[in-house]
Amino acid sequence: MALSEAKVGRQMEIQQVTGTEKVQKFLFSLGCHAGERITLISILAGNYIISVKDSRYAIDRKMAQAIQLIG
């Protein structure tokens, strides 16, 4: 399932990051890679607020769809 389909407040594990090379590199720089835990904090004005490695980030729907989760 993609992060864009996940429930708010639930911590899940990243299975893989897809999308263009540019998107993959950006998400990797935030700490989004296979095996890492990620939490969807909220969805505000079309932005997905995520928590990765004790940091919070806002990403758009395209990037949220590129993050594939286990579960």
pTM of the model: 0.91
The residue segments making up the domain with residue 21 are: 3-51+58-63
Asked if residue 15 is part of any domain, the answer here is yes
Asked if residue 40 is part of any domain, the answer here is yes
**Domain count along the chain:** 1
pLDDT at res. 29: 95
pLDDT at res. 56: 97
CATH number at residue 8: 2.30.30.90
**Max CA distance (Å), the chain:** 28
Q: What angle do CA 18, 8, 46 make, to 5 degrees?
A: 65
Q: How does pLDDT run along the chain (71 residues), one tens digit per residue?
A: 999 999 999 999 999 999 999 999 999 999 999 999 999 999 999 899 999 999 999 999 999 999 999 96
What is the Cβ-side half-sphere exposure of residue 59, based on CA atoms within 13 angstroms? Answer: 28
Asked if residue 20 is part of any domain, the answer here is yes
